[in-house]
């Protein structure tokens, strides 16, 4: 019997219904587990990111948050939790925002209109070898 490694996820998304639905779906996968969620940068600062990132493999981050830009969080993660792979999931696929996210340190940027299979594939890809993704 082979044992599958559980990929631990942090979701940062301001649309509550979307975040909850995505978390429910991801938790239903045998190799994925959402360990924390937030809807704003303030929620992250007020508890989710203070010392609790050793148990996170991938952060799924929206760029447009009500109290700031998701790239702020990406910069923070690169400084304080470089082991966490970053997947940006956004409505806006404008080239400048896409480029900003990658320059901030995101491994991958995909559209919220991507299929759930595409989102799952991206998460799994990043947990196989985030260093390889960063160099692309």
Residue 4 has pLDDT above 90, yes or no: no
- Count up the domains in the chain and report the number: 1
Q: What is the model's pLDDT at position 50?
A: 60
pTM: 0.87
Query: Does 110 reside within a domain?
Result: yes
Per DSSP (E only), the strands in the chain are 7-12, 32-38, 58-61, 64-65, 68-69, 85-90, 108-111
Query: Does 75 reside within a domain?
Result: yes
For residue 101, CA distances in Å to 26, 31, 54, 75, 90 come to 23, 26, 22, 9, 10
Q: What is the model's pLDDT at position 3?
A: 52
Query: Does 134 reside within a domain?
Result: no
Domain residues for 31? 11-128
DSSP label at residue 53: G
pLDDT tens digits, residue range 54-101? 789 999 999 999 999 999 999 988 988 899 999 999 887 677 888 899
Q: Which has more confidence, 82 or 4?
A: 82
pLDDT tens digits, residue range 16-45? 999 999 999 999 999 999 998 999 998 887
Query: Does 136 reside within a domain?
Result: no
Query: Does 2 reside within a domain?
Result: no
Query: Does 6 reside within a domain?
Result: no
Domain of residue 15, CATH code:
3.40.50.2300
b/e 7-28 (16+ beta carbons within 10 angstroms → b): bbbbbbbbeeeebeebbeebee
pLDDT band at 15 (very low <50, low <70, confident <90, very high): very high
Q: For residue 3, give every residue at least 6 positions away whose Cβ sits within 8 Å of its Cβ, in sequence order, or none.
A: none
Residue 135 has pLDDT above 50, yes or no: no
């Amino acid at each position: 019997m082979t044992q599958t490694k559980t990929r631990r996820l942090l979701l940062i998304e301001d649309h509550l219904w979307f975040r909850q639905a995505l978390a429910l779906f991801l938790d239903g996968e045998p190799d994925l587990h959402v360990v924390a969620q937030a809807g704003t940068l303030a929620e992250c600062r007020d508890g989710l990111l203070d010392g609790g990132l050793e148990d996170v493999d991938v952060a799924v981050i929206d760029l447009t948050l009500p109290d700031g830009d998701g790239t702020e969080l990406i910069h923070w993660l690169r400084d304080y939790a470089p082991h966490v792979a970053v997947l940006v999931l956004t409505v806006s696929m404008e080239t400048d925002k896409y480029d900003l996210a990658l320059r901030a340190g995101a491994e991958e940027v995909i559209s919220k209109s991507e299929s759930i299979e595409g989102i799952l594939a991206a998460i799994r890809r990043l947990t196989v070898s985030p260093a390889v993704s960063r160099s692309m």
